[in-house]
Structure 1
């Protein structure tokens, strides 16, 4: 049972090695990379490739580690006790299972995605050390210990917004998804936009890499953004001639799909203005 990529996901050799190493070692795979490089989609494609169900735990700034295990609704139990509800006598009626519990309780091996772990508080990863290492946790309200029936394949993504604790990193297999080179990006585009004309794709990718490599750019456009840009180009039925720019540093057509803040737009507007003045 090995991951080799799918028809909908172009996986580089080093990425497939990382996924399979994490599966073999039964350690969480920590995937870092720029936003939009396919980290979340990787988990979905791994699940599809290995024929496993995917359980997604999307982390927010307010997410606590305990929520991944379970949540005890003491308020509802108090209310029901005041109303004389018979449910109050069984505490299990007030315990909501989290995503880790769901993965641990599954009769079949699953893929568990912990998405964007760096959004949470700095203590969040440390609070999961025991559970991810031992594959079990204790439910204090009922006195039971929940153990994983089948150790899940765990994929954890991070946009590198904050450093993760060393104790957490030691328990993971790490992989950084580098931004794809031109050949790999061409393959990715052809998966999403099959049949795109070679001349149009070459012109668009040349402009894209020129824009991405511009010094002073605050946010470099990602893989997902170039795919959106190409989708618009195809929807507008633009030709190679339509993509040609007045100056080397002029803004590309439909640049709103690529540049996502005013500083970067102003940077290219200034460069275009200077290019025109030098003519």
Structure 2
């Protein structure tokens, strides 16, 4: 199903194309939203992948095709490891654009990230302030108390597990940066496909169904009985720079893909996707120089190549400009420093 080119599948319903999940990976959350369509993209895919489609199926590694499709069929997270700048995060956007799954939910991990921050936030202070304002207004005229859902906002992880017919794409970016407990904390939701919102559960006397905010711009969703439960398990792409070991229990629940540095053909397709050099005059020369420099300087990211091509084709610099070699050297300086 996934071909790796980034070209959207035309006239194909991904929901019908996907086979049924294994019996142990079936989920029955609800209710489904109305209308049940993926939110439109917010421009991130175009910024990361470009607006053209020059990546051919021959440019995509067999390992990438195998692991992405296996994760789709088995409804398992995909753990993508590789050096910085090889395109790990871009993979999530390529899957979303190719399968027409809408906006990618990105959860950027830091050393302070916890499972709770990815699931939802409850603005208790805001609710207290709203109650105080309502009490003051009651002295003048009757006012309606705001729903508790106005003070609950699902995070990217929580939004990804809302019940929908088609899966959402969730990018968990740079899990290496997390504290030691986060990978193990994720096991529960990866296995069960649901999580409680205790603040909503305690308010069931008021209403079983509560509308809350989501991680999508202006997004709203209905939560029933204080629990979010998925229908289609999300396409979860987890990136790692390989800087730490993850627990065996976490690795057992993930499909694993090691992403190598892109070769010359892949680099040419990436540059062409961004239409930075239509005639290829500067592109081919810079790609050759970049590949040679990458062999010497460990860890050069692809975006530095794109920046060099852009500068070369923007008119800011011309061949023979004495500043150009200095600029390229600064752009392509190795990212790691010897001790």
Query: Which TM-score band applies after superposition, normalised by the shorter structure?
Result: 0.7 to 0.9
Query: Does 2:87 match 1:38?
Result: yes
5+ unaligned residues in a row in structure 2: which ranges?
7-52, 136-142, 202-225
Give the SS at the match of 2:121: strand
- TM-aligned CA deviation for residue 64 of structure 1: 1.6
TM-score, normalised to structure 2, is 0.65
Aligned to 2:229: 147
Whole-Å separation in 2 of the counterparts to 1:18 and 1:74:
42
- How many residues of Structure 1 are paired with residues of Structure 2 in the alignment? 252
Query: Does 2:268 match 1:182?
Result: no
Aligned to 2:213: none
Map 1:121-160; keep pairs closer than 5 Å. Answer: 121-143=179-201, 144-160=226-242
Aligned to 1:227: 306
Aligned to 2:124: 74
Give the SS at the match of 2:199: coil
- TM-aligned CA deviation for residue 14 of structure 1: 2.1
Whole-Å separation in 2 of the counterparts to 1:190 and 1:80:
53
Alpha carbons 2:299, 2:335 under 8 Å: kept: no
TM-score, normalised to structure 1, is 0.77
Change (3 A) 1:243 1:50: farther
Map 1:102-113; keep pairs closer than 5 Å. Answer: 102-109=159-166, 110-113=168-171
More displaced stretch, 60-69 vs 87-96: 87-96
Alpha carbons 1:106, 1:150 under 8 Å: kept: yes
5+ unaligned residues in a row in structure 1: which ranges?
245-250, 265-279
CA RMSD of aligned residues (A): 3.0
Higher relative contact order (CA 8 A, sep 6+): 2
The structure where helix makes up a greater share of residues is 1
